[in-house]
Amino acid sequence: MKSTPRIVSAALLVFALTAADKVAIRYGEGAFQVVGWKASSEPAGGWASIFPVSVGQPSSGLPPLLGSYTVEDGTLTFRPRWPIAPGMHIVALFHPPGLLVLAEFDTPKQDAVPSARVEHIYPSTGDIPSNALRMYICFSAAMRRNEAWQHIHLLGENGARLEHALLEVELWDPGATRLTVLFDPARIKRGLAPLKELGPNLAEGQSYTLEIDRDWMDAAGAPLLDGFRKSFRVAAAERTAIEPAKWRVTTPKAGTRDPLVVEFPKPLDYALVLRTLSVAGVKGTAALDRDETEWRFVPDAPWQPGAGRLSIDSALEDVAGNRLYRPFDAVMDQLKKMPDPGPVAVPFRIDEQL
């Protein structure tokens, strides 16, 4: 995919125009190159400090794209980590000392048909603790990055949009189908000034709605099939650590591929529980049910009789960020007495069929 720069501007700057005229930024086959300038040693701030590439208008203040920089036969080249979607406006700025070149590109638009939709928002439950740390928005297809906070809104009971409760950062999974939405942790952890001055992000007893606009574009440049709204009520804060000893494990019989079922006394973090729980030495597929209070594991091969072990990584959290034996808002002097427990194992046994 190639595109011609719409603007290469240096005329308003105080430097030798003849030098600037020899330098240009080219875009093609997914890479941006500075031509007419010989790259030598990398600057102290890295190549990104003199050659940022962003999506959006020059005045939008959007962060530079993530990617890799290389020098190929003296030519400085930037390759974005993810392919740039159709219909995007790209700004590339090259500004080593004494020189400035600005180039803008538009990737061709596609006649994309809407097909992506919001599949689910986690936590699934309609009651969320007032100190909830994060939510997940899951899409059926890859979404356009760097636009989330134009299309996500937190509404209060009166329908008014709330400011400052959510951190406006984009945290995507590698496929850009799951976005992590963070509540401001400074208004969750007790003892911090923002919580004292502004109160919690969510007020206990109140109802809220997370709203997703329909005009959010997917990676192919098409809007969502429909907008999406998740309403929830705020319950009391959850400030207790995760204790696997309180979990209930239901085991299947040997020779079957029935699920191993683990029930939790409270909802756990959707993405983390799927990443941090496993059955030692057994391959299979895990899923969550009952508002993230039940984990079900189906093995690829029939269960073998004997002792088994459920392995739990210490990164596991509940919806409020509480970890194994460590509440989220433990003060520092408590944490010194509470070392990371490391991986935890829960034993179980697979019995022969009668």
Q: What is the pLDDT of residue 332?
A: 44
Confirm if 226 and 218 have CB atoms less than 8 A apart: no
Q: What is the pLDDT of residue 107?
A: 82
Q: Say how far apart CA 160 and CA 171 lie, in whole Å.
A: 25
Domains of the chain: 2-106 (2.60.40), 118-235 (2.60.40.1220), 244-350 (2.60.40.1220)
| Stretch (H or E) spanning 336 | helix 332-336
For the ranges 17-21, 77-81, 182-186, 291-295, the lowest mean pLDDT is seen at 17-21
Q: Say whether the peptide bond before residue 83 is cis (omega within 30 degrees of 0).
A: no
**Which residue type, as a one-letter code, is found at position 56?**
G
Count Cβ neighbours within 10 Å for each residue of 255-280 and write b for 16 or more, e otherwise: eeeebbebebebbbbbbbbeebbbbe
For residue range 213-243, list pLDDT tens digits in order.
999 999 888 899 999 999 999 999 999 999 9
The pLDDT-based confidence of 122 (bands split at 50, 70, 90) is very high
Burial of 189 (0-12, 13-18, 19+ CB in 10 A): middle
The pLDDT-based confidence of 61 (bands split at 50, 70, 90) is low
The pLDDT-based confidence of 51 (bands split at 50, 70, 90) is very high
Mean pLDDT for the stretch of residues 12-35: 70
Using the predicted structure, report yes or no on whether residue 197 has a pLDDT greater than 70.
Answer: yes
Q: Say how far apart CA 64 and CA 46 lie, in whole Å.
A: 13
Strand-pair category, 178-183 with 127-129: unpaired
For the ranges 8-12, 127-131, 286-290, 306-310, the lowest mean pLDDT is seen at 8-12
For residue range 66-77, list pLDDT tens digits in order.
999 999 888 999
Closest CA to 323 of 274, 285, 270, 269: 269
